[in-house]
Amino acid sequence: MKSANSYLNFNGNTEEVFNFYKSVFGGEFALVMRFKDFPGNPMGVPAAELHKIAHIALPIGRDGMLMATDVLESQGQALSIGNNFYISLEAESPEEADRVFNALAAGGRTEMPLQRTEWAEKYGICADRFGIQWMVSYTGSVRFPGSQKG
């Protein structure tokens, strides 16, 4: 497997969420596609929902891609925000870990502040203001027993 990417669903505010993530991670969107961009509207999306995001992709790091869509009630879709996932990020430096964690946690909730653990020089867990849960790590020189690193 070359990479694992997260795909998120939002209740009509995908564009707002991804503009926030772009401000945190930088870069440019690899793709922004709205439902109105599908020729002939093959999904039969009502006019009031055609402006919503069908697919958006933001590169993160060297190989990662964060992707998302707006769910459409008109298509029988319902959003249920749960706690059954996290997006795990490995920072390239302690400074990057601090910056990203603090930006994501702003206006959200911190479950575990950035701190040294058995597996990382810095590790923290937070949920951003949109309810998405993040794990931020900077492994650094830590070598956890049984790890394949090093």
pLDDT digit string, tens, across residues 85-128 = 889 899 999 999 999 999 999 999 999 999 999 889 999 999 99
Q: What is the pLDDT of residue 118?
A: 85
Q: What is the pLDDT of residue 50?
A: 96
Whether 45 and 88 share a structural domain: no
Instruction: Summarize the confidence of residues 128-146 as an average pLDDT.
Output: 87
Residues 6+ apart with CB under 8 A from 104: 24, 126, 128, 134, 136
Taking each continuous run of H as one helix and of E as one strand, the counts in the chain are 2, 8
Whether 73 and 36 share a structural domain: yes
Whether 72 and 16 share a structural domain: yes
Q: With contact defined as beta carbons under 8 Å apart, do 56 and 65 qualify?
A: no
Whether 73 and 87 share a structural domain: no
Angle (CA) 59-70-14 rounded to 5° is 50
CA nearest to 7, candidates 75, 70, 61, 99: 70
Q: Which domain holds residue 73?
A: 1-80
Whether 54 and 112 share a structural domain: no
**pTM for the full predicted model:** 0.78
The CATH number for 109's domain is 3.30.720.110
Q: What is the pLDDT of residue 149?
A: 40
Whether 55 and 25 share a structural domain: yes
Whether 33 and 98 share a structural domain: no
93, burial (CB in 10 Å: exposed 0-12, middle 13-18, buried 19+): exposed
Task: Reply yes or no on whether the pLDDT at 1 is more than 80.
Answer: no
